[in-house]
Structure 1
Amino acid sequence: MTASVTASVAAADSDPAGPPTRLTVVVPVRNEAGNIESLVTEIGRACAALAPFEVIYVDDGSTDATPAALEAARAGRPWLRVLRHARSAGQSAAVRSGVAAARAPIVATLDGDGQNDPAFLPALVAALEQGGPAIGLAQGQRIGRKDGPFKMLQSRIANGVRGRILRDSTRDTGCGLKVFRRAVYRALPYFDALHRFMPALVAREGYGVVHRDVVDRPRHTGRSNYGLFDRLWVGLLDLAGVWWLIRRKRPTPSVTEVAGREETPC
């Protein structure tokens, strides 16, 4: 992990200072120059009713014109922030950097390729908030997938195996549209592909998970830079590790501080 990523992640141990914010939207991107402006516009439109909000783009070491596109997108958008990894560290690291820098107690994520429609963000935020403190995650589940048949077959197999082993009651954990409590995310064990196992890990911490169907869209331009988990054999070790973490979980103790005995005056 590069020094810039390490510094950003270290910030998760403290609460970032800043103006009061209801929602932070984190968008990990790598080489998505052609999708920046249109998606930023859509996010701003979708989140208008959720103000005050902020959007954090995490540029995961792009080698194309993504940095320039993000700089141009910031003009006239005080709610848009940009973080950059010096070298690509992966989607999970990009999400973690964004959550570490988030100023809001509620965080939303979506993929930066335009396939996740930001119009579904208000419904996911409402599902989380209406559920109360007992709900830790509102997970989008894609319908009308626009991926090719081979990738969809791989994803179906991977989701089926994961569901049988982890019993997380989620048919599509790979959907980038998620809304969760920042404090809950910070309690999760960090590892590569964490974002793919959030329903199971949030439940492991004792929180509920709600689901909402979201409509998948075709990619506007460019090609996929993430998504290797859809190949089942890449995720098997991660799956085994998460299964082990769930099996080893012990009840979290309820802790109260014992008041000190008052001094008896002489």
Structure 2
Amino acid sequence: MLENLALTIVIPVYNEQENLARVQKELLEYINQSHTITTVLFVNDGSSDNSQSLIEEICNKHMAFNYISFDKNYGLSAAIKAGFDYTTTSLVGYIDADLQTTPLDFDLLLEHIETYDLVTGVRTARKDSVVKNMSSKIANGIRRSFTKDGMDDTGCPLKIIKTEYAQRIPMFRGLHRFLPAMILLQGGKIKQVPVRHFERIAGTANFGVWNRLLGPLMDCFAYLWMKKKYINYKVANKG
């Protein structure tokens, strides 16, 4: 059944010039072996380095690669939302440009996407620092207590979502951490699948303790407010 699916892989980019050659190589390898019709959409989030020139070079060489570029830096949630908004395939995936997860593991998620509306990775044997691992573990515990989504690693940068669900998510800053919970609010089904994790080998991480711990705690209160106000409906009939 996978050969009947079409997938857009969204890659947010913010000052990742050192990683883009490897992104091109690994995504091409995945596209060439995938059983799905797969394209890549770069979202340049106002990079100040040479990322945009490299993105344009990649897209000019390969028809499966496309891009949109922001006029300034808006943040990861905005980049992900723009990727969802500009997706025209039935499925949309997400991976970070640092490739601490591998696109090859999209196939592990695709195995479940017919039954579920979002399938997210869970990073096993994480190759991050002790501080980053501990802060992420605490932040995930806090989010789980607020959202009751049962997800162990909502920050994993490897996800596939049915596009009709992704495009209904009312994104606000920080909501990329709540994607599974937002699918549940729509009455969708979610699943987590173990995926591989690798060390960052180039570029600089853009997130500190505030982004991983204190920021997400504040976002939890925003999520609870939004959940209380969230509108969801099903049309029974029309004429």
Q: Give the TM-score normalised by structure 1.
A: 0.82
Could you tell me which amino acid in structure 1 is paired with residue 216 of structure 2?
Answer: G
Alignment partner, residue 10 of structure 1: none
Aligned residues: 235
Worse-matched range after superposition: 228-237 or 199-208: 228-237
Q: Deviation at 1:86?
A: 1.4
Tell me how far apart the structure 2 counterparts of residues 201 and 100 of structure 1 sit (CA, whole Å). 16
Does residue 52 of structure 2 align to residue 52 of structure 1?
no
- Regions of 4+ moved over 6 Å: none
Tell me how far apart the structure 2 counterparts of residues 241 and 184 of structure 1 sit (CA, whole Å). 20
Alignment partner, residue 187 of structure 1: 168
Q: Larger Rg: 1 or 2?
A: 1
Unaligned runs of 5+ in 1: 1-19, 260-266
Could you tell me which amino acid in structure 1 is paired with residue 49 of structure 2?
Answer: D
Report SS of the residue matched to 1:154: helix
Report SS of the residue matched to 1:141: strand
Tell me how far apart the structure 2 counterparts of residues 101 and 217 of structure 1 sit (CA, whole Å). 29
Tell me how far apart the structure 1 counterparts of residues 232 and 96 of structure 2 sit (CA, whole Å). 34
Report SS of the residue matched to 2:121: strand
Alignment partner, residue 233 of structure 1: 214
Alignment partner, residue 197 of structure 2: 216
Tell me how far apart the structure 1 counterparts of residues 161 and 208 of structure 2 sit (CA, whole Å). 21
Q: What is the identity percentage for the equivalent residue pairs of Structure 1 and Structure 2? A: 29
Is the CA contact 1:31–1:65 (under 8 Å) kept in the aligned structure 2? yes
Map Cα deviations across residues 28-84 of structure 1 (whole Å, 9 max, x no partner). Answer: 010101111111221121233234221001111111111122122224310100111
Q: Deviation at 1:246?
A: 3.2
Alignment partner, residue 95 of structure 1: 80
Aligned with 2:138 (options 143, 149, 157): 157
Does residue 157 of structure 2 align to residue 176 of structure 1?
yes
Kindly report which structure 2 residues correspond to 1:24-173, keeping only aligned pairs within 5 A, or say none. Answer: 24-48=8-32, 49-129=34-114, 131=115, 135-173=116-154
Q: Give the TM-score normalised by structure 2.
A: 0.91
Alignment partner, residue 11 of structure 1: none
Is the CA contact 2:143–2:216 (under 8 Å) kept in the aligned structure 1? no
Tell me how far apart the structure 2 counterparts of residues 163 and 86 of structure 1 sit (CA, whole Å). 34
Tell me how far apart the structure 2 counterparts of residues 163 and 211 of structure 1 sit (CA, whole Å). 14
Q: Deviation at 1:247?
A: 4.3
Is the CA contact 1:23–1:50 (under 8 Å) kept in the aligned structure 2? no
Alignment partner, residue 205 of structure 1: 186
